[in-house]
Amino acid sequence: MKRRIAWAAGAVALVLLVLVPWIATPTLIQFGISMLLLATLAQGWNIIGGYTGYACFGNSVFYGLGSYGTAIAMVQWNLPFGVGLAFGAVLAVVFAFLLGLPVLRLRGHYFAIATLALAEVMTAIISNLDIAGRNIGLVLPLLKGDTLFYELSLGLLVLATLTVLWISRSRFGYGLIAIRESEDAAAVMGVNTTLHKVLAFALAAFFSALAGGIHAYWITFIDPESAFDITLNVKMIIMAVFGGPGSILGPVIGAFLLSAISEVLSTQVSTVASLFFGLVIVVAVIFMPRGLADVARRFKQYGLRYFGENVKAHRL
Amino acid sequence: MMPILEVRGLSKLFEGLVAVNELSFEVGEGEILGLIGPNGAGKTTVISLISGTLKPSEGELLFQGRPIDQLPAYRRAHLGIGRTFQIMKPFPGLSVLDNVAVGALFGTGGGQRKLNKARDDARHWLDFVDLGHRADQRADDLGGPDRKRLELAKALALKPKLLLLDEVMAGLNHAEIDEVVDVIKKVRASGIAILVIEHVMRAIQSLSDRLLVLHHGQMIAAGVPDQVLNDPQVVEAYLGRRRA
Amino acid sequence: MDLLLQILANGILLGGLYALMALGLALVWGVLNIVNLAHGALIMLGAYVCYYLFALLGIDPFAALPLAMLTLFCFGYLLQRYVLNLIIRAPMFNTLLITFGIEVVLTYLAQLFFSADFRTINPSYAGANYTLFGITLPLVRVLAFIIALTLTFALWLFLARARLGRAIRACAQNLVAARLYGVEPRHIYALTFGLGAALAGAAGDLYGVASQINPYIGGPLTAKSFAISIIGGLENPLGVVVGGLFLGIVESLTAAYIGPTYTDVASFGILVLVLIFKPTGLLGRTA
């Protein structure tokens, strides 16, 4: 019974979200597009970071490849948007396989740093390529009207979330979770860890690239700094972790909440949004390191003691 | 009858330390082979080499006649080799049931495809080791003896043909040891060959068909328990140890 | 040939500064297991401390060095004692997140109080040069190089010989045992982080003389410090020197022979290669 209510509520929410372009102001719609794309990035990260336990700081690489793939296809080769998107996605997935194989052999923070380094390298390489417009970037054809972009972004987020839902109930997903919980045990229990990790990485790349492609066409302009924006990495991680990594809706809720509050603050008190973000991160990591999803799960049992327990468990 | 596992000239070097030195032995089908020796003799290393967690420096491993020394760990699991870890490695965030379900999903022959079926299998194995009543608890909420049971159930869920047990009785009291011995006998009765590392002497004496004694990575004695445990070399290697 | 020597000299001088930059990060990482994404922000703060001491009080940046170190030491101590100590026993990933949050806060506050304008510290001798064997050596860079190496060596000596230094190393290796010997970990940890911050402050001071500063230099400097620490290897305290010099020379050569826009490709490309083929770094033993 409870599940039926949950599904019904979800369906209603989805319908409302779809209708937003017809009932909201243009600024709100724009905000919505940004938020939906960030949520998609957070979900993509959730697959490799949340479920597989490999904290990747390099999804911005795939976002950027998606952006540039789409842009180059449309600007240099005059291909339609759909083809551009597909090209960007394929590019990102190929990179994920090529880079994933060596880099996924690293564990823990070494993996995190390697992906961060890859992100830096990509930015530097792209700014030296002529076809990508070097440091100046590329200007894409203009498409008026945000409705299409909004619905596309929403559709992408739904697709990403459904993928995560499938992962949580499939043999593949159990393999990922086993790797996260104990990679050595997973290996001797028959999980092909290399294959699983690379596939998870490729899935994250796929969604990041599509988000990048949509964003590029929407903004109509990209350059290496913005397309391969390194701070995107931490934003998507914060949102996923704040909402609850390894859960289905956690990253989405984290993205929605953090974006919304950040937006409200920045209209009220200009740049204080950054400060807010930073403080939220610090406080959240101290008091609710496993995210909102875990708070929701345990609050019934522990109440406010939950937060104190977290501190006690982790402090020196 | 072909032995299920053949080890020939197995050696493992770690940066100048010879952990295992030209070891050769066999495990017969349906046999329980006990592996004993003082601490640091290399017993866990041998298990890690067989299960694929470590790669050998030299030597051959044949499982059901097939060479496996170059196969990665997960392939060996698919062939039917299961192991427990001395320092237990449960999946802490998962329920006890799901811990075992992973084994059912990825075990011998590639395991189950369907999650539901795997969970049903997992329940069966939990009952086998008498842990069924804790199926829905989180794995890291379990106490010591229950963790051992879980470790065993996870390995069994692979439906292995060869089970490698690494000190499953450490830290248990007499009654718990007897329970585990019974479970291991049940496992052997179902046709699975077992290689057991143990320090609890009376348990390994009653379980093993044969015993192998390791000291400084080398085999110093092999044979039936009574004979081996009275071997003066073995006694000397254990000098100062109490026999439980 | 002369050109090559000049390039190498530039690289070596740069490398000394790089080594100092990475030193604080490597110390905190190796001893406390904290991956400090706010390290660059600490360097940035050190630079601003010296800038204001120079601009408002006329204090020479090299004389201000101890002051900058002291200020950052206190700040680092408090930060560790009352914030970071709260999550020390959590998974290491959490230290990444929390230090990132701190970085964001520090950058924002810097931008609020110092404005986003570019600044330099320009003592009167800023343009002076030595000439040696036909190579031009800027005075400030030579001084920076000497100070950097001195501090690095001093740290190494401190950790090896001084009682406090050994207490720090003891905590790093075995916290429980250290406690049994009467070492108070909360204090030691805070001291260590403070020390790392002080070194960052020193690096910031020297950086401010050698280059321009603004509130946003933290991020790239953190990334570079990571590269240096890993390339050199965390096991050996002299690793940062090797890493710093190596990276300094590589960047100098890349800028001259391939192009200045490729220096990041070279640095981070090498980092990726090191991580893949020899994660323990150039000085580390093979894993």
Joined together, the tokens standing for residue A163 give: 């993928």
Question: What is the tens place of the pLDDT at every residue in A77-95?
Answer: 989 999 999 999 999 999 9
Give me the mean pLDDT over the B186-204 stretch.
Answer: 89
- Which residues, other chains included, contact A29 with Cβ-Cβ below 8 Å and sequence gap of 6+? A20, A21, A146, A147, A150
What is the C-alpha separation between A52 and A179, in angstroms, rounded? 6
Subunits close to A (at least 3 CB pairs below 8 A):
B, C
Residue C287: per-residue pLDDT: 42
What is the C-alpha separation between C122 and C117, in angstroms, rounded? 15
Residue B123: per-residue pLDDT: 93
In total, how many domains does chain A have?
A: 1
Q: Strand, coil or helix: what is B241?
A: coil
Percent of chain B with pLDDT over 90: 47
What is the C-alpha separation between A189 and B111, in angstroms, rounded? 10
Give me the mean pLDDT over the C216-226 stretch.
Answer: 89
- The count of other CB atoms within 10 Å of the CB of residue A12 is 10
Residue A253: per-residue pLDDT: 92
Q: Which helix (H) or strand (E) holds A270?
A: none
Question: What is the tens place of the pLDDT at every residue in B87-106?
Answer: 888 888 889 999 999 999 99
Contact B91 A171 (CB under 8 A): no
Query: Residues C242, C18: contact at Cβ < 8 Å?
Result: no
What is the C-alpha separation between B46 and C174, in angstroms, rounded? 29
Joined together, the tokens standing for residue B158 give: 């692979």
CATH topology of domain B5-90+153-200+212-222: Rossmann fold (3.40.50)
Strand order through the sheet with B193-197: B81-83, B162-166, B193-197, B32-36, B210-215, B218-223
Residue C160 has pLDDT above 50, yes or no: yes
Average pLDDT, chain B: 88
CA-nearest residue to A184 within chain B is B53
Contact C279 A110 (CB under 8 A): yes
Q: Strand, coil or helix: what is B219?
A: strand
Residue A36 has pLDDT above 90, yes or no: yes
Percent of chain A with pLDDT over 90: 43
Contact A190 B85 (CB under 8 A): no
Distances (CA, A) of C255 to A229, B181, C244, C265: 24, 70, 16, 11
What is the C-alpha separation between A14 and A7, in angstroms, rounded? 10
Residue with tokens 């106490």: B143
Confidence of residue B243 (pLDDT cuts 50, 70, 90): low
- The count of other CB atoms within 10 Å of the CB of residue B175 is 8
Strand order through the sheet with B66-67: B17-27, B5-14, B58-63, B66-67
Inform me whether the C-beta atom of residue A177 falls under 8 Å from chain B C-beta atoms: yes
The torsion angles phi and psi of A223, rounded to 5 degrees, stand at -140, 165
Q: Which helix (H) or strand (E) holds B164?
A: strand B162-166
Q: Say if A104 falls within a structural domain.
A: yes
Question: Whats the size of chain C, residue-wise?
Answer: 287
Inform me whether the C-beta atom of residue C135 falls under 8 Å from chain A C-beta atoms: no
- Which residues, other chains included, contact C198 with Cβ-Cβ below 8 Å and sequence gap of 6+? C24, C69, C70, C72, C73, C76
Contact B103 A189 (CB under 8 A): yes
Residue A53 region by backbone torsions, left for phi larger than 0, else alpha for psi between -120 and 50, else beta = left
Residue A212 has pLDDT above 50, yes or no: yes
Inform me whether the C-beta atom of residue A277 falls under 8 Å from chain C C-beta atoms: yes
- Which residues, other chains included, contact C109 with Cβ-Cβ below 8 Å and sequence gap of 6+? A275
Inform me whether the C-beta atom of residue B137 falls under 8 Å from chain A C-beta atoms: no
Q: Say if A203 falls within a structural domain.
A: yes
Question: What is the tens place of the pLDDT at every residue in A144-157?
Answer: 888 889 999 999 99
Joined together, the tokens standing for residue C200 give: 């960052």
Contact A178 B90 (CB under 8 A): no
Contact B158 A190 (CB under 8 A): yes
Treating both helix axes as pointing N-terminal to C-terminal, what angle do C92-114 and A230-243 enclose, rounded to 10 degrees? 120
Residue C90 has pLDDT above 60, yes or no: yes
Query: For B209, which DSSP code?
Result: S
Higher-pLDDT residue of B148, A264: B148
Contact C279 A121 (CB under 8 A): no
Confidence of residue C3 (pLDDT cuts 50, 70, 90): confident
Candidates B51, B93, B110; nearest CB to A181: B93
Q: Is C120 exposed, middle or buried (0-12, 13-18, 19+ CB in 10 A)?
A: middle
Which of A1, A295, A34, A313 is closest to A154 using CA atoms?
Answer: A34
Treating both helix axes as pointing N-terminal to C-terminal, what angle do C92-114 and C39-57 enclose, rounded to 10 degrees? 20
Inform me whether the C-beta atom of residue C172 falls under 8 Å from chain A C-beta atoms: no
Report C:198-227 residues touching A (Cβ under 8 A). 219, 223, 226-227
Which of B117, B167, B172 is closest to B145 using CA atoms?
Answer: B172
Partner residues linked to A221 by β-bridges: A139
What is the C-alpha separation between C223 and C200, in angstroms, rounded? 14
Residue A163 has pLDDT above 90, yes or no: yes
What is the C-alpha separation between B73 and B54, in angstroms, rounded? 9
Average pLDDT, chain A: 88
Candidates A120, A125, A281; nearest CB to C97: A281
Joined together, the tokens standing for residue A314 give: 């982790």
Three-class DSSP labels, C148-207: HHHHHHHHHHHHHHCHHHHHHHHHHHCHHHHHHCCCCHHHHHHHHHHHHHHHHHHHHHHH
What is the C-alpha separation between C65 and C266, in angstroms, rounded? 31
Joined together, the tokens standing for residue A46 give: 């959730």
- Which residues, other chains included, contact C132 with Cβ-Cβ below 8 Å and sequence gap of 6+? none
Which of B123, B137, B36 is closest to B94 using CA atoms?
Answer: B137
CA-nearest residue to B139 within chain A is A181
**DSSP β-ladder status, A138-139 and A221-222:** antiparallel
Confidence of residue A109 (pLDDT cuts 50, 70, 90): confident
Interface residue of A105, A239, A285, A288 to substitute, partner C, most C CBs within 10 Å? A285
Residue A1 has pLDDT above 60, yes or no: yes
CA-nearest residue to C264 within chain A is A124
Q: Provide the sign of the torsion angle of the four alpha carbons A37, A38, A42, A44, taken in this order.
A: positive
What is the C-alpha separation between B31 and B208, in angstroms, rounded? 8
Query: For C131, which DSSP code?
Result: E
Question: What is the tens place of the pLDDT at every residue in B48-80?
Answer: 999 999 999 999 999 999 999 899 999 999 999
- Which residues, other chains included, contact A187 with Cβ-Cβ below 8 Å and sequence gap of 6+? A193, B52, B53, B72, B73, B74, B77
Q: Provide the sign of the torsion angle of the four alpha carbons B32, B37, B40, B46, taken in this order.
A: negative
Q: Which helix (H) or strand (E) holds A247?
A: none
Give me the mean pLDDT over the A226-242 stretch.
Answer: 86
Inform me whether the C-beta atom of residue A238 falls under 8 Å from chain C C-beta atoms: yes
What is the C-alpha separation between C175 and A257, in angstroms, rounded? 39
Average pLDDT, chain C: 87
Which residue ranges make up each domain of chain B?
A: 5-90+153-200+212-222
Q: Is A156 exposed, middle or buried (0-12, 13-18, 19+ CB in 10 A)?
A: buried
Contact B113 A181 (CB under 8 A): no
Residue A271: per-residue pLDDT: 63
What is the C-alpha separation between C160 and C149, in angstroms, rounded? 16
DSSP C213-232: B-GGGHHHHHHHHHHHHHHH
Give me the mean pLDDT over the C226-252 stretch.
Answer: 88
Inform me whether the C-beta atom of residue C272 falls under 8 Å from chain A C-beta atoms: yes
Q: Say if A284 falls within a structural domain.
A: no
Inform me whether the C-beta atom of residue B118 falls under 8 Å from chain A C-beta atoms: yes
Treating both helix axes as pointing N-terminal to C-terminal, what angle do B144-156 and B96-106 enclose, rounded to 10 degrees? 20
Partner residues linked to C271 by β-bridges: none
Q: For residue A159, what are the domain limits?
A: 25-229
What is the C-alpha separation between C176 and B133, in angstroms, rounded? 37
Joined together, the tokens standing for residue A110 give: 């070494």
Residue C152: per-residue pLDDT: 86
